[in-house]
Amino acid sequence: MSDPTNPTPAEVPESTSSSKGKTLAVVLGLAGLALVASYFGLRRHESQPTEMAPAAPTGDVAAAPPTTVPEVSLPEQDAEIRSHASQLSPDPELARWMNEKDLVRRFTAAVTSISEGASPRAMLGFLAPTGAFSVTEVDGTTVIDPASYARYDTVARVIGSIDTQSAASVYRELKPLIDQANAEIAPPGQTFNSSLSAAIQHLLKVPVQEGPVEVIPEGALHAYAAPELEDLSPAQKHLLRMGPKNMRLIQAKLRELKSSLGLPPVADR
């Protein structure tokens, strides 16, 4: 039996509300991951400072105390984030996503969860697709119905449409907000840069499955028949559930983000 903390790829038909809670995990925060990367960007070189500190005065003149950025109410910054989102993609679905509240914390928490292999379902319920998971029979074998993959076409389309070059132009403006949220959410000493790099690396390890993907009944759910798939983390399984076409589109965008934002390599966690 699989680990109950590691959700299996499929569930039996269920109510609309419970299906939403399930499928947003399938969406996996991937949208949140790509959007955060795009909104806040990252320096091309991790070691390059964003600004130089002024030289300390000499002689008897006392040094001024370091300048600190005052904390702000993150939910009140949603309007600013929405204004920047329009620069990233012409897809109207993106604007609908941006109608949510407390966007900075949502996406920062989603990235942190994915970097740890956990499901971001609690933060990104608004990304849940419609329709229920379904299976079909191919030569006497139970496999995932391709119609289940099509439910995530919209999310993959929006992620694929994001202009990664636009990210750099808004990084300096929004970095204090993401840093503030990261200080609240991430483990002590873990920067947003490292979380984002780890999250992308974690998702790029998921193998694209061409052709039918076999599943087996497990109670009221289904599990992947292949042990190497069933042993993936919750976050990785959610990406796998989106199907090969959507996976290729999303992983290509993540590679583009990783390259254009100069993300450093990270050790496996």
What tens digit of pLDDT does each residue of 232-255 get? 999 999 899 999 999 999 999 888
**Domain carrying residue 118:** 15-47+73-260
**145 and 235 Cβ atoms separated by less than 8 Å:** no
Torsion angle, alpha carbons of 232, 188, 21, 203, to 10: -30
DSSP state of 216: E
Strand partners, 175: none
Total domains in the chain come to: 1
Count of CB atoms situated within 10 Å of the CB of 118: 18
Supply the pLDDT for residue 263: 72
Decide if 7 is inside a domain.
no
All residues at 6 or more sequence positions from 189 whose CB lies less than 8 Å from its CB, including other chains: none
In a domain, 246, yes or no: yes
Q: What's residue 169's pLDDT?
A: 62
Q: Give the Cα-Cα-Cα angle 257, 126, 247 (nearest 5 degrees).
A: 40
Q: Pick from 181, 165, 34: which is nearest to 103 by CA? A: 181
Residue 58 within a domain? no
N-terminal to C-terminal alpha carbon distance within the chain: 24
Distance from C-alpha of 67 to C-alpha of 220, rounded to nearest angstrom: 57
d(CA 110, CA 15): 25
Is 217 a domain residue?
yes
In a domain? residue 236: yes
Coil, helix or strand at residue 143: strand
Tokens encoding 189: 């000493």
Q: What per-residue confidence (pLDDT) applies to 172?
A: 61
Please check whether residue 92 lies inside any domain of the structure. yes
Residue 109, both tokens: 């928490």
Q: What is the pLDDT of residue 268?
A: 57
Q: Tell me what pLDDT residue 48 has.
A: 33
Q: What is the pTM of this model?
A: 0.73
What would the two tokens of residue 57 be?
């005065």
Spans in the chain with pLDDT lower than 70: 1-70, 167-173, 264, 266-269
Q: What is the pLDDT of residue 96?
A: 84
Q: Is residue 10 a part of any domain in this protein?
A: no
Residue 177 lies in a domain: yes
